[in-house]
């Protein structure tokens, strides 16, 4: 009995020490994660929460005592003519960019993957084709503004080739501006598709093409029945990522046309910027931003599900 | 067990977010300025002037203030557009620098927002004699911005183009101007005039469009409120500009053109006339040393004979409401507005002083600058957009409506102005 009473505290201590060690072990990974989590909360979660909160109040920041207005801001934004124009322009801008990014990226990737070109030639073209991806939005905007200026190189070329007699106002005409900025965005973004698809193409086993050739498949059949199915996971990821990036494009539009002429190139990001920094309507800007956030989140969910599916 | 762990983690995560959110939403008088261990004050001065002045000049000027008072000044210099965005963000979050460079078109909104301090009170508290100031930008009767230096927008003319077109007489009226620019277009193929109408920065409405109206003694306001309708002068200006577009004498690409693009076109000898800031004189001379250009009085509406106005833009200054060192900041403002320092700043900036007692020494200034100074003195300084609510947005909506009229979407100048008036009135409600 005596011995038992003597060992009891020891057992308790041992148990406590075990619990401490266990807690330490379990909490260790979370402690490692803590700096990142704190940074994410401060830089990501809090701003998002604040913007969502602002979207339910009347003019925040300007008004020191803003009132809760529920979904009124959403109703106002969704019936705003300029917002609807911005949605239409954004759809054309994003849709056009996505389709042509894919077509150009695929074409150039296949050219660079061909066995008919030497290694050096391929390397040189790989660098040339990738160049647009290396430039920042500011450089791209300045470069294309010079090229597309009424006195610029593109018009000079068109006049010299007798394709036009007058100076086309590529960025200053309502008929051409949206087409022009979409073309600039396509030029700036296709290398990402090209590089990713090229990596995918290099991973497709050559035996698949050889078997298809033995079975009598021509190159078009091989493309649609081998290349596309093999690249499918990469293509879906690229489309989803490009959608999110393009829908948020701001700098390029702002520096080339500023959303004009009138509202010809107004997209969601320029619309939000003007509401916030020109009209000082921070609640409306937040509401529009929340709508954009919802669209991007839906796409992001698809992206994550798709990534999980492929795993 | 797993579910429990998840729940605990979720609660901890949400808890920490709420805690940080609560901490962030506390009303704290945020200030960028600091006080070191010795009690020395450091003021932050955010502006775009440092980028536009010759290297090191602004630093030299603020060092003079530190030598005089012991108060340190940290310069936060960025280009104009970045400065505006940063100040607007600072105004929204209460983290504005102690002293800020301001444009007249921002004052109303920052003043109403309570982001910039009431300078009338600060000047009174410091016993500052404000009669020496050439102007004060007020909101509801109180001063929120003091123009430090003023930039005039005279009319530039490329004399080589005029000679090439065989024009000997400088146009003095709008009809003469239309005739001259038409001749230039026909004989040289070059543009007669340019107007930057990009909606990214719609200041072309203020500096290039309204310059015509103001030069002919017109106004777009009546008692501080929009007066765009039943305004014969303004209707005539809209029709005159439309006439220039219809005659195809305006530089192409106007709807996407920015002020910098226009200056570049002029520097490259492709435009005969432009209204532009005197601040660009050095840039143009540097870019094209052989360009033969001059300043002329802006042509006026036919039949007008009175004194005309010349558009001015200014480098204004204000103090952040969130500053913990408003008294020190006011001392810094007074230092910049003192006759000697103000004169020095004006000379370096190719501008005119904001202090009426300042005697800038322009003896080493360019001859053309002196000529522009004479033109400036012959007219009155005007910029009706200064201090208006959402001033930039007013310019943008005017710009959009003007483009619709120029493109023929709006039937008449009166309809265009009536539509713009309707939009502007909402901003004044």
Query: Which pLDDT tens digit goes with each residue over A260-286?
Result: 899 999 999 999 999 998 888 999 999
* Of A138, A174, A163, A168, residue with least CA distance to A151: A168
Contact present, B277 and B313 (Cβ < 8 Å) = yes
**CA–CA gap between residue A256 and residue A178 (Å, rounded):** 11
HSE (CB half, 13 Å, CA atoms) of B119?
A: 30
DSSP conformational letter for B78:
-
Indicate the SS3 state at residue B60. Answer: helix
CATH 3.40.190.10 assigned to domain B38-150+313-371? The reply is yes
Does the distance separating the beta carbons of B396 and A263 come in below 8 Å? Answer: no
Best CA proximity match to B220, nearest among B247, B238, B242, B194: B238
Percent of chain A with pLDDT over 70: 97
Closest CA to B26 of B111, B86, B110, B93: B93
Instruction: State the pLDDT at residue B20.
Output: 53
Nearby residues of A264 by Cβ (< 8 Å), 6 or more positions away: A89, A174, A177, A178, A257
Contact A259 B24 (CB under 8 A): no
- Nearest Cα to B45, choosing from B10, B86, B13, B12? B86
Note whether B261 and B208 are within 8 A (CB). no
Residue of A nearest to B110 (CA): A62
Q: Determine whether the interchain pair A177/B256 forms a contact, defined as Cβ–Cβ distance below 8 Å.
A: yes
Please judge whether A42 and B20 are an interchain contact, meaning their C-beta atoms are less than 8 angstroms apart.
yes
Q: Which helix (H) or strand (E) holds B101?
A: strand B99-102
Q: Which residues of B lie closer than 8 Å to A, measured between beta carbons?
A: 13, 16-17, 20-21, 24, 84-85, 88, 91-92, 109, 112-114, 197-201, 251-257, 261, 265, 270, 390, 392-393, 396, 399-400, 403-404, 407
Domain ranges of chain B: 38-150+313-371, 155-297+389-428
- By DSSP bridging, strand B142-152 and strand B352-353 are antiparallel
What pLDDT shows up at residue B24? 46
Mutation target for A interface from B251, B255, B268: give the one with most A CBs within 10 A: B255
Rounded CA-CA distance B271/B192 in Å is 6
Of A42, A255, A260, nearest to B199 by CB-CB distance is: A260
**DSSP single-letter state for residue B310:** E
Burial (CB count <10 Å: 0-12, 13-18, 19+), residue B227: middle
**CB B425, CB B227: distance < 8 Å:** no
B61's CB contacts (< 8 A; 6+ apart) are B336, B341, B344, B345
**Which residues are paired to B103 by β-bridges?**
none
- End-to-end Cα separation, chain A, in angstroms: 60
* Interface contact flag, A46 B24, Cβ < 8 Å: yes
Distance between CA atoms of residues B355 and B35, nearest Å: 31
Interface contacts (A, B; CB < 8 Å): 98
B264-298 b/e (C-beta count within 10 Å ≥ 16 → b): bbbbebbbbbbbbbbbbbebbeeeeeebebbbbbb
| CA nearest to B200 within chain A | A258
pLDDT for B13 equals 56
Residues of A260-276 as b/e, b for ≥16 C-beta within 10 angstroms? Answer: bbbbbbbbbbbbbbbbb
Among B8, B253, B405, most A C-beta atoms within 10 A, so best to mutate, is B253
Q: What is the DSSP string of A52-93?
A: HHHTTBSSTTTSSS--B-TTHHHHHHHT-HHHHHHHHHHHHH
Nearest to B256 among A37, A45, A261 (CB): A261
Contact B253 A149 (CB under 8 A): yes
Mutate to test the interface with B, among A165, A172, A181, A271 (most CBs of B within 10 A): A172
- DSSP 8-state class, residue A149: S
For residues B150-170, one letter each, b for 16 or more C-beta atoms within 10 angstroms of the residue's C-beta and e for the rest, the string is: bbbbbbbbbebbbeebebeeb
> Cβ of A254 and B200 within 8 Å?
yes
CA distances from A281 to A36, A52, B25 (A): 33, 15, 20
Asked whether the beta carbons of A60 and A287 are under 8 A apart, the reply is no
* Interatomic CA distance for residues B271 and B262, integer angstroms: 8
Nearest to A152 by CA among A167, A163, A166: A167
B300 contact partners, CB below 8 Å, separation of at least 6: B172, B173, B174, B215, B216, B217, B308
Rounded Cα gap, residues A269 and A248, in angstroms:
6
Question: Given this chain, do its domains B38-150+313-371 and B155-297+389-428 carry the same CATH topology?
Answer: yes
B197: chain A residues, CB-CB within 8 Å: 260-261
How many whole angstroms separate alpha carbon B421 and alpha carbon B172?
A: 30
Decide: helix, strand or coil at residue B357: coil
| Token pair in block for residue A155 | 């018009």
Asked if this assembly's ipTM is beyond 0.95, the reply is no
Residue owning tokens 């300043």: B295
Contacts of A150 in chain B (CB under 8 A): 251-253
Burial class (CB in 10 A: 0-12, 13-18, 19+), A210: exposed
Say if the Cβ atoms of B17 and A45 lie within 8 Å: yes
DSSP 8-state assignment for residue B280 = G
In this structure, are residues B277 and B149 in contact, taking their beta carbons and an 8 Å threshold?
Answer: no
Does the distance separating the beta carbons of B109 and A278 come in below 8 Å?
no
Of the candidates B20, B253, B261, the beta carbon closest to that of A169 is on: B253
Structurally, at CATH architecture level, domain B155-297+389-428 sits in 3-Layer(aba) Sandwich (3.40)
Predicted confidence at residue A278, as pLDDT, reads 87
**Interchain contact, A41 vs B109, CB within 8 Å:** no
Per-residue H/E/C for B140-163: CCEEEEEEEEEEECCEEEEHHHHH
- Which pLDDT score is estimated for B140? 87
C-beta atoms of A61 and B92 within 8 A: yes
Alpha-carbon span A231 to A194, nearest angstrom: 12
Give 10-residue mean pLDDT values along chain A (311 residues): 60 80 85 93 92 91 85 95 95 96 95 86 88 91 94 92 88 95 96 94 92 92 94 91 92 93 95 91 94 91 79 64
pLDDT per residue rounded down to tens, chain B (429 residues): 455 555 555 555 556 555 555 554 444 444 445 665 567 899 999 999 998 888 899 999 999 999 999 999 999 999 887 898 889 888 888 889 999 999 988 898 898 888 999 999 999 999 999 999 988 999 888 999 999 999 999 999 999 999 999 999 999 999 999 999 999 999 999 999 999 999 998 999 999 999 999 999 999 999 889 999 999 999 999 999 999 999 999 999 999 999 999 999 999 999 999 999 988 888 899 999 999 999 999 999 999 998 999 999 889 999 999 999 999 999 999 999 999 999 999 999 889 999 989 999 988 888 899 999 889 888 998 999 998 999 999 999 999 999 999 999 999 999 999 999 999 999 998
């Amino acid at each position: 009995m005596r011995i038992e009473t003597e060992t009891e505290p020891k057992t308790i201590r041992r148990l406590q020490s075990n619990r401490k060690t266990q807690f330490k072990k379990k909490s260790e990974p979370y402690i490692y994660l803590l700096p990142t989590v704190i940074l994410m909360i401060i830089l990501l979660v809090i701003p998002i929460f604040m913007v969502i909160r602002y979207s339910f109040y009347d003019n925040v920041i300007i008004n020191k005592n803003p009132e809760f207005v529920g979904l009124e801001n959403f109703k106002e934004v969704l019936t705003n003519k300029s917002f609807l124009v911005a949605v239409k322009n954004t759809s054309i801008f994003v849709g056009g960019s996505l389709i042509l990014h894919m077509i150009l990226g695929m074409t150039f990737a296949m050219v660079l993957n061909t066995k008919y070109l030497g290694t050096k030639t391929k390397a040189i073209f790989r660098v040339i084709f990738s160049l647009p991806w290396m430039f920042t939005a500011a450089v791209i905007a300045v470069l294309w503004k010079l090229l597309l200026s009424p006195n610029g190189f593109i018009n000079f070329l068109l006049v010299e080739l007798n394709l036009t007699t007058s100076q086309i106002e590529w960025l200053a005409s309502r008929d051409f501006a949206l087409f022009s900025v979409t073309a600039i965005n396509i030029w700036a973004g296709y290398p990402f598709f090209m590089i990713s698809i090229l990596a995918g193409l290099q991973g497709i086993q050559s035996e698949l093409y050889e078997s298809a050739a033995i079975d009598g498949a021509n190159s078009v059949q091989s493309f649609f029945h081998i290349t596309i199915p093999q690249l499918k996971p990469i293509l879906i990821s690229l489309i989803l990522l490009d959608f999110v990036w393009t829908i948020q494009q701001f700098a390029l539009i702002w520096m080339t046309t500023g959303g004009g002429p009138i509202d010809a190139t107004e997209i969601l990001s320029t619309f939000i910027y003007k509401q916030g920094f020109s009209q000082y309507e921070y609640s409306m800007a937040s509401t529009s931003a929340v709508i954009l956030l919802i669209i991007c989140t839906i796409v992001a969910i698809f992206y994550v599900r798709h990534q999980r599916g492929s795993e | 067990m797993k579910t429990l762990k998840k729940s605990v983690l979720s609660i901890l995560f949400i808890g920490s977010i709420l805690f940080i959110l609560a901490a962030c939403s506390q009303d704290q008088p945020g200030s960028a300025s600091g006080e070191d261990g010795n009690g020395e004050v450091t003021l932050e001065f955010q502006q775009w002037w440092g980028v536009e002045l010759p290297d090191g000049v602004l630093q030299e000027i603020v060092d003079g203030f530190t030598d005089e008072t012991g108060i340190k000044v940290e310069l936060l210099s960025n280009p104009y557009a970045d400065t505006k965005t940063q100040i607007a963000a600072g105004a929204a979050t209460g983290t504005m620098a102690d002293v800020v460079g301001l444009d007249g078109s921002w004052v109303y909104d920052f003043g109403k927002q309570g982001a910039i301090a009431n300078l009338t009170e600060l000047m009174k508290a410091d016993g500052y004699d404000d009669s020496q100031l050439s102007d004060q930008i007020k909101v509801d009767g109180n001063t929120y911005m003091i123009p430090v230096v003023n930039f005039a927008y005279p009319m530039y003319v490329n004399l080589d183009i005029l000679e090439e077109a065989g024009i000997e007489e400088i146009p003095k009226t709008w009809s003469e101007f239309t005739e001259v620019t038409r001749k230039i277009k026909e004989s040289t193929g070059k543009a007669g005039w340019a107007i930057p109408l990009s909606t990214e920065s719609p200041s072309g409405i203020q500096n290039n469009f309204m310059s015509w109206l103001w030069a002919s003694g017109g106004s777009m306001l009546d008692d501080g409120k929009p007066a765009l309708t039943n305004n014969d002068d303004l209707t005539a200006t809209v029709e005159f500009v439309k006439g220039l577009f219809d005659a195809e004498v305006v530089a192409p690409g106007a709807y996407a053109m920015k002020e910098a693009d226009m200056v570049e076109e002029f520097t490259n000898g492709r435009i005969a006339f432009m209204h532009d800031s005197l601040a660009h004189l050095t840039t143009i001379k540097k870019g094209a040393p052989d360009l033969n250009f001059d300043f002329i009085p802006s042509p006026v509406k036919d039949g007008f004979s009175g004194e005309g106005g010349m558009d001015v833009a200014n480098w204004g200054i204000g103090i952040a409401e969130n500053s913990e060192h408003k008294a020190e900041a006011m001392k810094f403002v007074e230092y910049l507005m003192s006759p000697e320092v103000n004169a020095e700043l004006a000379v370096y900036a190719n501008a005119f002083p904001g202090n009426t007692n300042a005697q800038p020494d322009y003896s080493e200034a360019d001859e053309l600058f002196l000529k522009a100074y004479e033109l400036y003195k012959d007219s009155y300084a005007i910029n009706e957009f200064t201090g208006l609510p959402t001033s930039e947005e007013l310019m943008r909506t005017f710009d959009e409506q003007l483009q619709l009229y120029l493109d023929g979407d709006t039937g008449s100048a009166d309809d265009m102005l009536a539509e713009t008036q309707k939009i502007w009135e909402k901003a004044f409600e």
